[in-house]
A and B are shown apart, each in its own frame.
Chain A
């Protein structure tokens, strides 16, 4: 992994990301380690994402490194018409690693091809966000004690949801059973289902999640966004259907955990927050440990 960019979840082997998860567990026990002394890392956010940026910057600073960068493109020379290539070339002269978020798909891959320093993709449009996937895996393994043979219930927007697609790809190495619950307009794309068929992985599709709650080991909630619907009446019909409420969780296993990439809007009722089955805030904290592990692995410090 040393000096290798992390752009897509498929860039690393199963063994490599398991190693990152092990390392993340070490950082969870001992988050403050001065591994990055004298290292400078750029966080280039061509599109704002406060949550992801703060998580990465926390990870760097907990490791004793320093950060330069920008939080959105308007405070960079992009507004003067500078190309991505020029920005990356220039920043590469200054730092040891680039962490970037960009609204265009493939931007991080392109950046990794034009620089000699490692690039970590912190989201490129609807394409990839590998550190999110790794922190999802970390959260699943930590709460269930294993990754193998789990029942994963995915609820909401399964068509456009980048996180569910990457999680599906990563989990498919671990013999899961998937339950895909979505309105018909937002079903899991057939390309992903073909991939599962090819690997002999079981999945069920439905529009109603209630019957599947008792089976789930992990409930992965996503936001159903209004702008995804061609017909506003369709949205009105489903907007309150894909909402998890505390009263519904009694039928679940005691060990079930509810994950959400955040930010949530109303798909998880706030009355769930105090339930021990709710895990989304801890999941976000796990993101810091996982990002520490990614950075330390790539820079060859662990």
Chain B
């Protein structure tokens, strides 16, 4: 049954992008980071699907849309194990994994410091990546260092 599901998912769109292996809890964060709510493309979201790797996963299919790597890499913060399938003419023509941006993350993370200026004025947040392995970042403004467990998506 599971194999059939996967089959269906991959073949359901003629051209576009399938984002698989998203943790179920991160589906809405991924939608918001990629700003999918602003697109008029046909989309399918699946959530709380069975996954050997994650226990519970979500999947997104966007027809007729290919993302830039820089856009996709933004979701690495909330879905580090996400797998991307690029579909052309019903075929998977390319598989990609996401990578945490190397140097800077702009406008995705909310600074958890309540007295940081970014929580008081309309400012695009900016974080410097200190370590990609344990996802430690430093706020460009208040200079607080935060790790994966403290990261909150805007």
Contact = CB atoms under 8 A, between A and B. Distances in A.
Interface stretch (A69-77, A102-110, A138-146): A102-110
B141 A110 contact: yes
- Which of A103, A105, A109, A191 counts the most B-chain CB atoms under 10 A from its CB? A105
Given A104-B117, A105-B115, A128 B145 contact: no
A84 B117 contact: yes
B143 interface: yes
Interface residues of A, number: 18
A85 interface: yes
A125 interface: yes
Given A83-B121, A84-B121, A191-B145, A104 B115 contact: yes
Contacts of B139: 106
A104 B120 contact: yes
B145 A110 contact: no
B121 A105 contact: no
Contacts of B142: 105-106, 124-125, 127
B115 A125 contact: yes
A125 B143 CA distance: 11
B113 A85 contact: no
B113 to A, nearest CB: 6
Contact of B121 (A110, A127, A128, A191): A110
Given A83-B121, A110-B123, A105 B140 contact: no
Given A104-B115, A110-B117, 12 more contacts: A8-B143, A83-B122, A84-B121, A102-B117, A104-B120, A105-B113, A106-B116, A106-B117, A106-B139, A106-B141, A110-B141, A128-B143
Given A84-B117, A85-B121, A106 B145 contact: no
Interface in B102-123: 113, 115-118, 120-123
Contacts of B140: 106, 109
A246 B96 CA distance: 69
A223 to B, nearest CB: 20
A102 B116 CA distance: 11
Interface in B42-56: none
Contacts of B116: 104-106
Interface in B97-154: 113, 115-118, 120-123, 139-145
A8 B122 CA distance: 22
CB-based closest 8 A-B pairs: A106-B141, A105-B142, A106-B142, A106-B117, A104-B117, A107-B117, A109-B141, A110-B117
B143 A105 contact: yes
- Which of B113, B115, B122, B140 counts the most A-chain CB atoms under 10 A from its CB? B115
Interface in A74-115: 83-85, 102-107, 109-110
A124 B113 CA distance: 13
Contacts of B118: 106, 110
Nearest to B120: A104
A274 to B, nearest CB: 39
- Which of A8, A85, A127, A128 counts the most B-chain CB atoms under 10 A from its CB? A127
A34 B116 CA distance: 38
Nearest to A110: B117
Interface string B46-85: 0000000000000000000000000000000000000000
A102 B142 CA distance: 12
A105 B145 contact: no
Contacts of B122: 83
A84 B139 CA distance: 19
Contacts of A125: 115, 142
Contacts of B144: 105
B106 to A, nearest CB: 12
Nearest to A85: B121
Contacts of B123: 110
A106 B113 CA distance: 11
Nearest to A10: B143
A173 B118 CA distance: 31
27 contacts: A8-B143, A83-B121, A84-B117, A84-B121, A85-B121, A102-B117, A104-B115, A104-B117, A105-B113, A105-B115, A105-B116, A105-B117, A105-B142, A106-B116, A106-B118, A106-B139, A106-B140, A106-B142, A106-B143, A107-B141, A109-B141, A110-B117, A110-B118, A110-B121, A110-B141, A125-B115, A127-B142
